[in-house]
Amino acid sequence: METIATGAAPTPTAVKGLPPGPRMSRALQTAIWSRQAQWMLGQCRSRFGDMFTLRIANEGTWVMVSDPEAVKQVFTGDPRVFHAGEGNEILRPILGDNSVLVLDEKAHIGQRRLLLPPFHGERMQGYGEKMTEIAAREIESWPTGTPHKLRPRMQAITLEIILETVFGVHDRERLEPLRAALRDFLDLTTNPRVLLPVILLGPERIRYLPAFRRRIDRVDELINREIRERRAAEDLAERDDILSMLVAARHEDGSPMSDAEIRDELLTLLVAGHETTATALSWAMERLTRHPEKLEHLRAEALAGGEEPYLTATIQETLRLRPVIVLVIRKLTEPVEIGGYELPAGARVTPSIHLVHRDPEIYPEPERFLPERFLETPPGTYTWIPFGGGVRRCLGASFAQFEMAVVLRELVKRHQIAPANPKSERPFRRAITETPRHDAEVILA
Ligand code: HEM
């Protein structure tokens, strides 16, 4: 007899099988998804309601959910039944077999436990000074008076912050080749032309494409050198970068992390933390420059020093209205009843960040950029989900919001900022993230 993972017997009225969805072929659904994900989600919700099924090449069946109760059920569900690692399989060729993102159950908990300490709240304060220094230096080098794309500049800042806080590399001679190799590798992973082949070929075959192999080999060579030398460093105990903490970390049985484990987690933090934060920062400026009075409010608050509730609310509202990632994935290992459907094992349940954040019952006038909505009411655990949720919630959520606050504060304090073109920028898909189509182009004064 089939088991139902909610622990309860299936409700007699539950419909066995998948909710409805578009009837077009998988190939066509994949093509639309890769170019117009947000539009497709909106269309499907109007047509099919809160739960619908999409079929995407190499991704099996996606059951989209956006009702907060269903989202809660997925995020608090048994991790043995809701597999996020299997859902992130597409990242395995890049991140490696030990990455916390691609593991499930015991193996996932083991890696997550090792990665948690560096992301504790007080650590962030420690990184604050370095983050501020990097942001200020970068921003001071930006040109004024001409159109200027912010996204690549934000990427430069977030990469520099990761090199400093995660890798702990400050030496110019080491920094330059490492920065160049990582940049080259990251550009490939976020190239929109690479997305479709990745989806169509599937993760396994992508691994052997020469363009991928060459870049990954170079990155591995440099990272492995850093790991080797860090193991031998005499000042390991005093260092506060994440690589040093991983070298010193111990599994529950007392054994150290292997080189392969550390390599995979470093690359995971880089890939998960760099492009995402740079994109969120670009969206913050894209939205703020279309709302000059809100930008002014933010500047006045930053210049006054002290508490910064408007900055916090601006970051929360940016991540609500322009979430960098539109959904998260959990692959079912057993049949589960959700929202009146008895879903089969093997289906991928996908809480839609985009749809939850656009629900007018949760957020009145959902299309408006209104940081004020978060001044009185803090974000809800299952209604504000830019970082996913449950035991898989983004490990870098505090890090990212802290970093965003530092960069936005330094930027608005130094410059008057206007959009290069008053028209809003539309979302544009780059591999996994949804970025501003014109890279948040502004003119600084
Ligand atoms: C605005 C920036 C960011 C956004 C929007 C974001 C979003 C996400 C999302 C949606 C997930 C999947 C959660 C789930 O499946 O429920 C995730 C996981 C993860 N993120 Fe982030 N992230 C950001 C920044 C960062 C940073 C800065 C780091 C680290 C330096 C980071 C490290 C991770 C890791 C390690 C995971 C995997 C957690 C696990 O599987 O247990 N992220 N992130």
Extended strands (E) in 320-372: 330-332, 336-338, 341-343, 348-351
**286 neighbors 113 (Cβ within 8 angstroms):** no
327 has which bridge partners?
352
Ligand 1 centroid vs 6 CA: distance in angstroms? 26
pLDDT in tens, 314-346: 999 999 999 999 999 999 999 999 999 999 999
**317 neighbors 366 (Cβ within 8 angstroms):** no
**What's the pLDDT score for residue 212?**
80
Residue 120 tokens, joined: 């504790």
**161 neighbors 404 (Cβ within 8 angstroms):** no
Residue from 387, 404, 432, 434 to probe ligand 1 pocket by mutation (most atoms less than 8 Å from CB): 387
Which residue has better confidence, 10 or 293?
Answer: 293
Residues framing ligand 1 (Cβ under 6 A): 84, 100-101, 112, 268-269, 272-273, 276-277, 280, 324-325, 328, 386-389, 392-396, 399-400
pLDDT in tens, 221-280: 999 999 999 999 999 999 999 999 999 999 999 999 999 999 999 999 999 999 999 999
Give the three-state DSSP class for 159: helix
- Does 1 have pLDDT greater than 60? no
Ligand 1 centroid vs 280 CA: distance in angstroms? 12
**123 neighbors 244 (Cβ within 8 angstroms):** no
Averaged over 215-223, what is the pLDDT? 92
352 has which bridge partners?
327
**What's the pLDDT score for residue 99?**
96
Report the first-to-last Cα separation within the chain, whole angstroms: 68
pLDDT in tens, 53-82: 999 987 889 999 999 999 999 999 999 999
Residue from 75, 326, 394 to probe ligand 1 pocket by mutation (most atoms less than 8 Å from CB): 394
443: left (phi over 0), alpha (psi -120 to 50) or beta: beta
- Does 209 have pLDDT greater than 80? no
**What's the pLDDT score for residue 126?**
87
Atom 41 of ligand 1: nearest residue by CA position: 392
Output helix, strand, coil percentages for the chain, rounded to the nearest 5: 55, 10, 35
**150 neighbors 442 (Cβ within 8 angstroms):** yes
Give the three-state DSSP class for 150: helix
Averaged over 289-307, what is the pLDDT? 97
Confidence of residue 140 (pLDDT cuts 50, 70, 90): very high
Confidence of residue 44 (pLDDT cuts 50, 70, 90): very high
Ligand 1 centroid vs 343 CA: distance in angstroms? 27
**What's the pLDDT score for residue 194?**
63
How far apart are alpha carbons 279 and 323 in whole angstroms? Answer: 9
Averaged over 404-431, what is the pLDDT? 95
Which residue has better confidence, 124 or 331?
Answer: 331
- Does 421 have pLDDT greater than 60? yes
Q: Which of 296-300, 302-306, 426-430 has the lowest mean pLDDT?
A: 426-430
Average pLDDT, the chain: 92
Extended strands (E) in 248-389: 330-332, 336-338, 341-343, 348-351
Pick the closest to residue 359 from 315, 320, 327, 392 (CA basis).
320
**What's the pLDDT score for residue 122?**
80
Averaged over 207-223, what is the pLDDT? 86
How far apart are alpha carbons 108 and 387 in whole angstroms? Answer: 17
State the angle between helix axes of 397-414 and 121-140 in degrees (0 to 180), rounded to the nearest 10: 30
Distance of CA 344 to the CA centre of its chain: 28
Ligand 1 centroid vs 429 CA: distance in angstroms? 18
Q: Provide the residue type at 119 as one letter.
A: F
Ligand 1 centroid vs 331 CA: distance in angstroms? 18
Which residue has better confidence, 173 or 382?
Answer: 382
pLDDT in tens, 143-200: 999 999 999 999 999 999 999 999 999 888 889 999 999 988 888 776 666 655 665 6
Q: Provide the residue type at 66 as one letter.
A: S
C-beta pairs of 219-223 under 8 Å, 24+ apart in sequence: 219/181, 219/182, 219/185, 219/267, 220/263, 222/177, 222/178, 222/181, 223/178, 223/263, 223/266, 223/267
Ligand 1 centroid vs 386 CA: distance in angstroms? 9
How far apart are alpha carbons 348 and 55 in whole angstroms? Answer: 10
